[in-house]
Amino acid sequence: MEDTAKQMQEVWEWVVPNALEYGSNILEALIILIVGLWLAAWLSGATRRTLDKYKRIDGTLKPLFASLVRYTIIIITIIAILSQFGVQTASIIAVLGAAGLAIGLALQGTLQNIAAGIMLLILRPFRVGDFIDAGPVSATVDEIGLFTSQFTTVDGIYVSCPNSSLWNSKITNYSRNNKRRMDLVVGISYEDDIGKAVDILMGLMQKDDRVLKDPAPQCMVTTLGDSSVNLTMRMWAASADFWALKWDMTRWSKEKVEESGLSIPFPQRDVHMIPAPTEK
């Protein structure tokens, strides 16, 4: 009994100080983790708010800087937590290197998204606010991140697309240039006066202030269709006015052509009936 009591006392004498030591380390590590995560979120938000005050900084770069600040604080927090348990700096670097290699092999697709995101931010084929057509996306750019980019479609739907899908696709940016050309086809009957139709359509374009004077608008005969002579109204407009102008010109061209006594024909076919020969 005396030996057992002595052993229990020795165990107790070992457990109490070690429990206090490791318990304090765990408590300090939890405090560091909580403070680190809070600080990462706060500094990331503060960075974004500060950058928003500077209009000269491109909107595509603001989320990147905020993400870099957040992840940097998180990495420092992890290193501080490991140091609480006696892990040496060299060991931390070795562990991070090995972990980075393993993560890199396991997350090749994710790393491709990061690389694609960096290239998109450097080359800037599109920016926040641009309307683009790229791969599976045809929408307005809301944010370009390290992993994914966020968009809003014309009908108000949120879309998140991996950066690698965008980078590996042809990107059509409808907002990059400040003006666009519009070709609007109007058909008239073969019996109508072509010169009169051209004058009507040219006057329609020249009276609208949204149609740019340089390059000058044009109206020409482009094709002789099966049922109509097709005239093309060619005009340039500011990108912001393009769709409103297109819708108005489509309506007004029909109204003006019909008011002038001309006609916009629809497809027709002449069918000739040949009687079958009678038997003798």
pLDDT of residue 76: 80
129 neighbors 175 (Cβ within 8 angstroms)? yes
Task: Look up the pTM and report it.
Answer: 0.58
Q: What is the model's pLDDT at position 254?
A: 92
Instruction: Please give the pLDDT value at position 225.
Output: 85
Q: CB–CB of 230/224 below 8 Å? A: yes
- Residue 245 is predicted with a pLDDT of 94
Q: Which one, of 130, 156, 157, 125, lies nearest residue 143 by Cα? A: 130
Q: Measured between alpha carbons, how far is 11 from 32 in angstroms, rounded to an integer?
A: 31
List, as one string, the DSSP characters of 141-210: EEEE-SSEEEEE-TTS-EEEEEHHHHHTS-EEESSSSSEEEEEEEEEE-TTS-HHHHHHHHHHHHHH-TT
CB 73 within 8 A of CB 43: yes
Per-residue pLDDT 10s for the chain (280 aa) are 555 555 555 544 554 455 555 666 677 777 878 888 888 888 888 888 887 777 666 666 677 778 778 888 888 887 777 776 666 656 666 666 776 666 665 555 667 887 888 788 778 888 888 999 988 889 999 988 778 889 999 899 999 998 888 888 899 999 889 999 999 999 999 899 999 999 999 999 999 999 999 999 999 999 998 888 999 999 999 998 999 999 999 999 999 999 988 888 877 677 778 887 776 5
Report how far Cα 243 is from the mean position of its chain's Cα atoms: 20
Token readout for 72 is 């940097």
Residues 6+ apart with CB under 8 A from 162: 109, 113, 116, 147, 148
What pLDDT shows up at residue 15? 47
